[in-house]
Structures are given as C-alpha cells and as structure tokens.
Structure 1
Amino acid sequence: MKVIISHDIDHLHWTDHWHDLFIPKYVVKHILFLLSGKIGFGLFSKRLGLLFRNRQHRLPELIVFNRENGVESNFFLGTNNGLGLSYSLKKAHQTIQYLKGFADEFPVGVHGISYTNQEGINQEKRRFDASGFKAEGLRMHYLRNNEDTLNYLARAGYTHDSTTYELKDPYLVEGSMLEFPVSIMDVYAVDDTDATFEKGKQKTLEVIAEAEASNLEYFTVIFHDNYFDPAYPAHYEWYKWLIRYFKKRGFNFTTFDRACKELALEKP
C-alpha cells in the first residue's frame, strides 16, 4: 500500500479574516470550550496567543518535517473565497511560487470553492494557471461535491481530484481524470478539544487495518498545515506519529501526480 500525504491550505494570515466572522467565531468557540471544561486554561491561552502571531499557516515548519522524513506531499491552495477561506489571489500566487521552489517535491493544486457549476470550476482553474503554473489536481474545500462535481472537474482539464471520502482505490472519471478518495483526515481523527491524540490514534489504526484488509493500493491522508503547531497538540502529535508509523511499517510515500503516472503505466 502506498501513502499519499496531502495538505489543504485553508488559512495564510489572521489579517485575511478582518472582513469575515472567522476571528470572533474562533474566540467565542474557545471561550465556550474553556467554560465547559473541554480545554484547560493553558491550551486556551495558546490558542488565543496564535492571534498575535498573524502568520496562520505553518508551511515552513511542515515542509522541514516532511523533508526530514522523506515525505513528498501535495498541497491545495484556494483561488476563490468562501467558508473561511479568505486569503487573496495575490497571496495564493505567492504561495504557489514558494512551494514550486521545491521543484517536484510538493506539487500544488486547487482547493476548490465552486462545485455546482462548470464555469465556476473553470474560473478557479484559470486563476490558478495565471500564476504561471498549471493546475493538474484539485480538492474541494470541506470536501463538498454533488452528483455532477467530478464530471465538471474532468471537463475542466484536471488529471486528478481527491474530494470523495471512502476507502476505495483510484478510479477514472469520464475516461480522463483519476479520483483518489480520501482515506482519513485530521479533523475526523482528532478533535479541537483533545489534549492528546490517543483516541485519534486508535481510530486511525482501525482505518489502516481496514484498508489493508481490502488490499487498498493507495491510502490518502489530509492534514491541514495550520495544525502543525503545539497549540493544537492532538493534531500536531497525531501527524508526527502517523508519518513515523508509516515509515516503521515500510509504506512508501508518493504523490497524486506520480500515482497518476504509475496507474497510466499499468493500463493494458
């Protein structure tokens, strides 16, 4: 079984959220967590302390960790706004340039907002391509999709997508695009109120065991880069444990782009 590690970039800077309700919702949520006893004062202080650092993403830290562990991973960046994804297209292009500076180690695709119509999907791809790099892959923000979404993506010219959530091997859509179902995602494994990742560890081991029992060829993981911070101890430690677990088990890491080439070679 090969492992594909992927990262959805939902946030870049706290100041990107001045025009939406993300920050007040974030503060209120954590006050309620504290008052209900779901988190302690120490964790509450760390979470609110993040607001004063402005840089919400943890791309440099995550990349250092991934490179130290031999993990080449896919990143997905938004070129449209919605559902808390609020950074500008200019910042998206700058981040694409930054990630492309690592050559093919960290392929970048679109983190989609529009999923119900062809033109909206086409427009987001054009905005990405305007960075000077072509978008080959996509993942929808919040994994949103309907019965037509994958067909729209294939017609937009994407070679791969990873939006559906199920233990299933990649499959072709309209004969041209490979769909890589998500096997596990950080926020489904651990919770914002978890002080440790023990519950998430058990959930994850169960999913991996099920995948192996099903002889799954590719196992896809989502980890949001902003959680690579001690202020999110469960998410942070879960990801580090997961990478080391995969290495200990001898699983090979790959990317969506490389997997597409591998699967093309397997065609009769």
Structure 2
Amino acid sequence: MTQYVFLGHDVDWRKQGASLEHIMARKERFEPAVLEECDKKNPYYNIPDYMEIEEKFGVKSTYFFRTKYEDGDFTDYEDDIGSLIDGGWEVGLHLDPSSINETKKILEEKTKLESISKTEIKSNRVHYLGFNDDLPNKLQELGFVYDSSVRRSKDRIDENEMGYLKYGNLIEFPITIMDAYLFTHMKIKEEQIIPTFESTLKLGRKVNDSFNVITVIWHDNVLKMKGGRMYKEILECLTSQDDVSILRGIDLASMINSKE
C-alpha cells in the first residue's frame, strides 16, 4: 500500500529576497560562506535550486505564489512560473489572509496569478495558514479543486494533520510537516529532521495503510538555512521508501476525485 506525500513550497518573499539587514539580523541561521555571498546572491531566492534537486530525484512538487509581496512585485516571478509549468511542476495561489472573507478579492488574486502563469489556477494555500469555515465555499465557487491551509496545532505531528477532508467538492489537505513549525515550535534540531520524517511515515502507515496523505511545506527561502538545507536528504529519505509516492497536490486531488 502507498503513503502519498504532497510536497509543496510557499514562496513567501519577493524575488529579490529579504534585505541584507534582515538576513544579517538572523545570521546565525546561515553558514559564513552563504553570508559572504549575500551581496551577490540573495539566499532567500532558491526556486532554480529546488528544481535542480527535484529533477535529480524525479520529483515534481507544487509552488504557491503570492500576488502581494512586501516591497516587491509578483510579476517578477513570471519567468520562474513559466519554467515551473513548462517543466511539469504545479503553480498554486498563496492567498493573502486579508482576502479570505471576500470572494471578489480571492478572484482578483486568482486572476492576477493566471495572467502571468497563462494557465488556470486550481489550488490554494492561504499565507500564514489563514482559514475560516466560509473559505471552502468561496474557493469552490471560483473553480478551485483543492486547498491546503489547515493545521490544528503548531507543536506536534499526529493523525489529525494527515489525510484529507472534503468540503463539498473541495479537497482540503491538512499540513503534516512544515519547516517553520519544526524548528520554532517543535525545537527539532537539524540532525533530527530525517528521523522526524521517518517517524511520520511510520505513523501514517498505522493511520491508513491503504491511502494516506502526508502534506509537507518546505519554504522557498529556507534552502540555504541550517535545517532547511536538509531538503536533498529529505528527498533521499522519501524516495528510498518502497511504499512512498511524492506527488503534486493536483495529482492527488485527481486521484481522490476519481475514486469517490
């Protein structure tokens, strides 16, 4: 039986990345060699690096883009979005929390992203995981197939954060593992990351050995950070498991809809 991993990246920062002041205020997160290159290569922009790593492992994931970036323009990502879509990755909307209460605002953001993606946007995740009971109805009305904005806790990984929910025809994928929660709330050290993924897979097999979904967020900006730089090892771990399949969110949603 298969454990499915829905692998996604939230692109939270403008393409130019964080300011040098912001990075240096968090310099303990980076190796000296990364900091030395900051003025030439902002360590918060990593989409091409992720694509290269995923290509090596034969993996395709989902990238969620905002349309409202602080001191930045979402259209700066047009070339990246084009490369992702042409290469077989999925692009979804990273909806602003201020938009979740108004269908008109959600539509405006969806339309903006579609204007540069040149494709229909069918997936959503709210920035900062904003969610309310009315959001699924609004998303369905606008043609979204799935959402992934729900997490019930910040400091644990359990069966409540696995699988999927249905709100009418909309599929909701709860977030099982998110980098920020691992490091900030669960206090997971770098050397504990792979054992954490292994124990999560083990739990998933107990929860549902026939069809279980583990949803992972690994932010675009963490790849050069301590902890976040373990992404390659995470893919090595996941792809080495005989019963694990890594998919884009839209592929999982299609599977779920076809079997119901």
Which band: TM-score by shorter chain? 0.7 to 0.9
Query: SS of the residue aligned with 1:99?
Result: helix
1:73 paired to 2:68: no
Q: 1:53 aligns with which of 6, 28, 41?
A: 41
The 1-side partners of 2:35 and 2:128 are apart by: 22
Measured at CA, do residues 86 and 217 of structure 1 come closer, stay the same or move farther in structure 2, by a change above 3 Å?
Answer: farther
Offset from partner CA, 1:58-115 (integer Å, 9 cap, x none): 111111110110111111111123xxx553132133332221221xx20111111122
1:152 paired to 2:138: yes
Match of 1:178 in 2: 171
Q: 1:112 aligns with which of 95, 98, 101?
A: 95
1:167 paired to 2:164: no
Match of 2:221 in 1: 226
* Deviation of 1:55 (Å): 6.8
- Percent identity among equivalent residues? 20
**Residues 79 and 92 in structure 1, CA contact (< 8 A), matched pair in contact too:** no
The 1-side partners of 2:26 and 2:226 are apart by: 17
- Give the alignment of 1:171-250 within 5 angstroms: 171-173=165-167, 175-190=168-183, 197-215=190-208, 217-229=212-224, 232-237=225-230, 239-250=231-242
* Deviation of 1:25 (Å): 4.0
* Deviation of 1:48 (Å): 6.6
Q: What TM-score does the superposition give when structure 1 sets the normalisation length?
A: 0.79
Measured at CA, do residues 55 and 201 of structure 1 come closer, stay the same or move farther in structure 2, by a change above 3 Å?
Answer: closer
Offset from partner CA, 1:28-79 (integer Å, 9 cap, x none): 344xx5xxxxx7xx83663474244247311111111101101111111111
* Alignment gaps of 5+ in structure 1: 34-38
The 2-side partners of 1:255 and 1:221 are apart by: 11
Kindly tell me the number of residue pairs found equivalent between the two proteins: 243
* Deviation of 1:220 (Å): 1.1
Match of 2:84 in 1: 99
Query: SS of the residue aligned with 1:217?
Result: strand
The 2-side partners of 1:107 and 1:182 are apart by: 17
Match of 1:90 in 2: 75
Match of 1:36 in 2: none
Match of 2:254 in 1: 261
The 1-side partners of 2:5 and 2:55 are apart by: 15
Q: Name the amino acid aligned to 2:95.
A: G
Measured at CA, do residues 80 and 13 of structure 1 come closer, stay the same or move farther in structure 2, by a change above 3 Å?
Answer: closer
- Give the alignment of 1:19-30 within 5 angstroms: 23-30=20-27
**Residues 34 and 43 in structure 2, CA contact (< 8 A), matched pair in contact too:** no
Match of 1:125 in 2: 110
Measured at CA, do residues 235 and 259 of structure 1 come closer, stay the same or move farther in structure 2, by a change above 3 Å?
Answer: same
**Residues 15 and 76 in structure 2, CA contact (< 8 A), matched pair in contact too:** no
RMSD, aligned α-carbons:
2.7
Measured at CA, do residues 62 and 219 of structure 1 come closer, stay the same or move farther in structure 2, by a change above 3 Å?
Answer: same
Q: Name the amino acid aligned to 1:222.
A: I
The 1-side partners of 2:39 and 2:218 are apart by: 21
The 2-side partners of 1:213 and 1:144 are apart by: 29
* Deviation of 1:151 (Å): 2.6
Query: SS of the residue aligned with 2:100?
Result: coil
**Residues 172 and 179 in structure 1, CA contact (< 8 A), matched pair in contact too:** yes
* Alignment gaps of 5+ in structure 2: 152-159
Query: SS of the residue aligned with 1:8?
Result: strand
* Deviation of 1:202 (Å): 3.8
The 1-side partners of 2:188 and 2:39 are apart by: 20
